Structure 1
Amino acid sequence: MLWIKSLHIIFMVSWFAGIFYLPRIFVNLAMTENDGAFNQLNIMARKLYRFITPFMILTIVFGVWLTSYNWDYYKAAGWFHTKIALMLVLVVYHFICGHFQKQFAEGRCSKSHVFFRWFNEFPVVILIAIIILVVVKPF
């Protein structure tokens, strides 16, 4: 079980690293007026999105595997239900990032760098909430 927990944490940290960095690339894409820089940032965004998507999947797979060891406890734990809800919100956020990446690649993203600066903060809030839920188990 500790190997499964370790892999869950490793893939979660890797996913979050990418999900923190991708919107920062969007900030730069929204700001740049240089075609060469824009093209290079688009390549970086596409590669990063493709790179972190398996981490999202593996985080979920190992998380489900981990809960299977003590499902009776988890299905009754309110904090766990909240964690799962937040994780689902983060999955939606991940796919929204993919949507923005495609918009930038097609040259049709109209969001400003200010929007992406705020957008970038959202997964930080989710991470803080999930860690508090898992460690403190407030309810």
Structure 2
Amino acid sequence: YDRRHNINLVTSYNFGKQKSWGVDVRWNFGSGLPFTQVKGYYENITFNQGSSSDPITDNGELAWIYGDYNAARLPAYHRLDISLNKRFVFSKKSNLEINASVTNVYNRKNIFYVNRLKGEVVYQMPIMPSLGINYTF
């Protein structure tokens, strides 16, 4: 919603004998998404016990005082993913592909959400390597 700019740069390069090696690179950039800031907190007495509720001694629930709707923006999002794969051909119908990849190569801390209750920022995935094997027959 309301991401003003989004850029995806994707490239693949095959090399080696029979072009059996491949490198794939993807870089994604997105401008910051809008969000509504919290200006303050207050105790919300719910009166769950009806007429026997006591606003003096009952514990309320924490509630937020919001700022203007979507008046602020999160920082920009960007991430670089790289993969390397090697294909082995055994016959016309069977081959094996081995893949090594790294997601978020430079370990960018992209914001997933802010826990308003704890006042903590929760980030998306850190640098994440992976290995894979695919056999087709």
What TM-score results when the alignment is normalised by the length of structure 2?
0.22
Report the structure, 1 or 2, having the larger helix content: 1
**Pair member with larger Rg:** 2
What TM-score results when the alignment is normalised by the length of structure 1?
0.22
Higher relative contact order structure (alpha carbons within 8 Å, sequence separation ≥ 6): 1
